[in-house]
Amino acid sequence: MAVLLGPDIPVRPLVPVAGDTAPVFDDDAACVAPADTPAAPAGACPSTPAAAATLRPSEGSVHSWDLSTGVDGPGTRFVTFLSGCPLTCLYCHNPDTWRMRNGRRTSADAVIAEASKYTKFIAASGGGATISGGEPLLQPVFAGELLHRMKHELGLHTALDTSGFLGARATDALLRDVDLVLLDIKSWDPQTYQKVTGRPLQPTLDFARRLADLGKEVHVRFVLVPGLTDAPENVAGVASFAASLGNVARVDVLPFHKLGEAKWEALDKEFTLHDTPSPSPERVAEVKAVFAAEGLNAV
């Protein structure tokens, strides 16, 4: 199946992600152009062509939207949470966002109309708009249109909140409409990363390096989980890698919490970290100091 964002603008076919029925865009698949047009040339098949993103109405699966301050990027922000995520993080506080089918089918027009109600307030706070999830890059065309219109129609600073696992789905066109990437690096040790997320680490590292090559500002997020991600060599590895990139303006060391446990229970899922404590303030300070020693702004 091909998706078209307007005349003669082919987009990669949709294929399912292993373990779910939600479709994603396959970067390895050939472009499919309309029958009465020439085949798209090699390399000319963007999954989110920002210049074409508003040529026709777009819809996506949306979990919710909200206003937040100081959590999802600088200032007060209009945050759109898209449904669907290829990761199954053990400490996820929003497991209800994992499946696209559980979201609400919503038009980009509706999201933009809602965000437009708050633009003056957002601008006064030095804030902007954040596309989050779930994993927004599971819906790259929809995420790309939202970013494009938030930036160019509403004049808002834009942020993309992502694990980076599907970073290959983010075209350069999409990233041109992103002012800031909030990048979750959940572990440096590949085995720990696999245990935490159910997915391999390498795609996130590759995406981080690509963002560095593009000079895109990044805030790294690292969740500190006692007995899981807090090993000294794991912390040191994340810190060293983040420092090597040259575009990481900030590192958020996020203490593990269990505020989402009730959602796991409501979904009849086992929360395996039930007996895991939150890290002590002293341990959080020690971890921040490791990042600071690498010249990073750890908060």
Per DSSP (E only), the strands in 112-247 are 128-132, 157-162, 180-184, 217-224
Give the distance, in angstroms, between the CA of residue 235 and the centroid of all CA atoms in the same chain: 21
User: Dihedral (C-alpha) 275, 280, 285, 291: value to the nearest 10 degrees?
Assistant: -10
Distance CA 157, CA 278 (A): 33
| For the chain, percent of residues with pLDDT exceeding 70 | 81
Q: Is the dihedral of CA 94, 99, 104, 107 positive or negative?
A: positive
What pLDDT is stored for residue 122 in this prediction?
A: 96
| For the chain, percent of residues with pLDDT exceeding 90 | 74
Cα–Cα distance list, 130 to 154, 189, 246, 260, 280 (Å): 13, 28, 23, 21, 30
pLDDT tens digits along 268-277: 999 999 999 9
Per DSSP (E only), the strands in the chain are 3-4, 10-11, 14-16, 23-25, 59-69, 76-82, 104-107, 128-132, 157-162, 180-184, 217-224, 248-255
254 φ, ψ to 5°? -105, 115
Distance CA 92, CA 78 (A): 21
Distance CA 75, CA 129 (A): 10
Which has the higher per-residue pLDDT, 188 or 52?
A: 188
pLDDT tens digits along 244-292: 999 999 999 999 998 888 888 888 999 999 999 999 999 999 999 999 9
Q: How confident is the model at residue 21 (pLDDT cuts 50, 70, 90)?
A: very low
Return mean pLDDT, the chain: 85
What pLDDT is stored for residue 264 in this prediction?
A: 87
Average pLDDT rounded to a whole number, residues 99-125: 94
Phi-psi category of 70—alpha, beta or left, where left has phi over 0 and alpha has psi -120 to 50? Answer: left
pLDDT tens digits along 77-101: 999 999 999 999 999 988 988 999 9
Average pLDDT rounded to a whole number, residues 52-58: 56
| Cα 178–Cα 124–Cα 70 angle in degrees, nearest 5 | 60
Cα-atom radius of gyration of the chain, to the nearest Å? Answer: 19
What pLDDT is stored for residue 261 in this prediction?
A: 87
Phi-psi category of 75—alpha, beta or left, where left has phi over 0 and alpha has psi -120 to 50? Answer: left
Whether 4 has a pLDDT exceeding 80, the answer reads: no
Average pLDDT rounded to a whole number, residues 190-194: 98
Structure tokens at 79: 């945050």
pLDDT tens digits along 32-53: 333 333 333 433 344 444 444 4
Average pLDDT rounded to a whole number, residues 177-184: 98
Strand-pair partners of 129:
78, 158
Structure tokens at 71: 């959590």
Strand-pair partners of 100:
none
What pLDDT is stored for residue 57 in this prediction?
A: 61
Whether 74 has a pLDDT exceeding 80, the answer reads: yes
